[in-house]
Chain A
């Protein structure tokens, strides 16, 4: 079974620039999550999708972050404009049933 694919692996941008991350979940996994992991902290949920609908985006800073999951498969997370405090690893995870989460390797974002 192929894992959760994320790209890019690393990204360095200047503050106020925009950036986008891509996630391809495991085939057949209806639920997709984006987590933000700041250095020294645990992953924090940003948004949860069920198929192509948003289940929970209450912790997504909507003034600068947006996410979509077209056709219920791939997903993109965008930040515009980026701030220094957005420097983190952005993890995508997918789940089929129960608590069977599978995480991708993440995208490490550095905002300078």
Chain B
């Protein structure tokens, strides 16, 4: 069965420090992975997906099939990056998403 693991519940970094939010997955098919973000008092929204290979708000994520990982990275954290981040795996029919348990990123001065 598919599974998404985010080992850290909370990640606290200083402003300007690098950020890496970890995500590992287990899936027998060809994985399609996403990062979703929920800022305070806002709706859950898509941040980026691995297929597009794009950088959004300075964040990037590379799919590593050998390590079954899709870690989210940003070289210099900003205060506005503080949010809850969820890694998600697209599975099966109807475009279902399997989410990890989420990591709260806290960026402090």
Q: Do A and B bind each other?
A: no
Interface residues of B (CB under 8 A from A): none
Write the residues of chain A forming the contact surface with B, with a CB cutoff of 8 angstroms: none
